Structure 1
């Protein structure tokens, strides 16, 4: 798709980025593809706004792979979908002889892209992927984002029935392993779609620990 994006906000024109796009296109859905593209453009714009130094290629790969763990081909039986996507990105980057430090950056960005309160203290690519996802899914930072650029991005990658569709996509990605969502915001999705399902309560888990407490020292 041809867009009028400024050169600073275009998808990196590299072999790595092109192959990441091919994988996303081949295995993902139109909804997740458009979401991933918006996330990259939102994140890179936020990085430029904040005058952050970041690797656009690594950020792009992170955006392209961040939801692939929802797709059956990349989904494990027990891991969080975020970890599945991170592992897929690690395998992809390692096959291209990308240095381990850079691979780890992308892995952390994807694995933590639904974890609030942590990523802002990490590498720019990790922080930006989280903020890009937060803007596209929850509208976090909507008013602070340049309106003209926001409309340009959404026009290029439309939000067709996105609010309903993304929740269904989430559930479809981990319906077979709801326990993997414990302790994450995705537990809410399982409680919404699985009748009678309740995520384990942390206080109950402590109370039922096999350790015996002593009344006195």
Structure 2
């Protein structure tokens, strides 16, 4: 049977189920619940604004958006968002999905935290960014009703999410803090990683190898 939460259908195609199983295998309850909430809030935004989007693409992208934090998919030298994007590309490529579907999924995952740019991308890419911002920092919180929010949280609990997600971020990139330069992830390192000193762009400009 199909599952509906707050009038949003959870995609249940073979591809969607396999993506969900992959996150279940390599993620934890925090990432599972967060990723599903991201999809649901993103889909609600799409429906409220009558935006045409592909639910399967949005769902799979949402499931993969933080998978780069997990031991299975984290690299030694790339932003965790890129690790997740590469993971979704490999997953979809191995299943014969169209290049356009793969491109959009890669962008949605890779750009999900790139504030000020991603919201102007294609529907699924921009909507997933909305879902992430809504769930993590409560951006545009009143856009979705309290009743709908409560239904989503009932099915996918937050369970100390505010502190849990910050430590999940840190665990995902504390071995490569240099990849957070110029991103919001540097805030996590600055707050939670002992001895971390945030790189400064102005310092980089003034101390470049150029004479002038």
Q: Same-fold call, TM > 0.5?
A: yes
Structure 1: which 5+ residue stretches go unaligned?
Answer: none
Equivalent residues of 1:36, 1:63 under 8 A apart: yes
Alpha-carbon distance change, 157 to 59 in structure 1, aligned in 2, over 3 angstroms: same
1:32 paired with 2:31, answer yes
Q: Distance in 2 between matches of 1:14 and 1:187?
A: 37
The normalised TM-score by structure 2 is 0.97
Cα contact 1:3–1:156 (8 A) shared by 2: no
In structure 2, C-alpha distance between the alignment counterparts of 1:25 and 1:174, rounded to whole Å: 21
Going from structure 1 to structure 2, the CA distance change for 1:3 and 1:13 (only over 3 Å counts) comes to closer
Match of 1:116 in 2: 115
Q: Which residue of 1 aligns with 2:14?
A: 15
Residues 16 and 116 from structure 1, CA distance in 2 versus in 1: closer, same or farther, beyond 3 angstroms? same
Post-superposition CA distance 1:170-211 (Å, at most 9, x none): 000001000011110000111112223122100000011111
CA displacement at 1:4 relative to structure 2: 5.1
CA offsets, 1:143-191, max 9 Å, x none?
A: 1112211110011000001111000000000010000111100001111
Could you list the structure 1 runs, at least 4 aligned residues long, displaced by more than 3 angstroms after superposition.
1-4
Give, in whole Å, the separation in 2 of the partners of 1:198 and 1:187.
9
Instruction: Give the conservation status (yes or no) of the 8 Å contact 1:75–1:81.
Output: yes
Which residue in 2 is equivalent to 1:79?
78
Q: Does 1:106 align with 2:105?
A: yes
Length, aligned pairs only: 212
Q: Normalised by the size of structure 1, how large is the TM-score?
A: 0.94
Q: Cα 1:125–1:4, aligned 2, differ >3 Å: closer, same or farther?
A: closer
Structure 2: tracts of 5 or more residues without a match: none
Is 1:43 the counterpart of 2:52? The answer is no
SS state of the match for residue 77, structure 1? Answer: coil
Distance 1:4 1:189 in 2: 35
Give the RMSD, CA atoms, in angstroms: 1.4
Deviations 1:133-152 (A, max 9, x none): 00000001111112211110
Q: Which residue of 1 aligns with 2:166?
A: 167
Residue 54 (1) aligns with residue 59 (2): no
- Residue 198 of structure 1 corresponds to 197
Q: CA deviation at 1:5?
A: 2.1
Structure-2 residue corresponding to 1:179: 178
Counterpart-to-counterpart distance in 1, 2:2 and 2:108 = 28
Query: Which whole-Å CA distance do the structure 1 matches of 2:77 and 2:166 have between them?
Result: 20
- Distance in 1 between residues matched to 2:182 and 2:17, nearest whole Å: 35
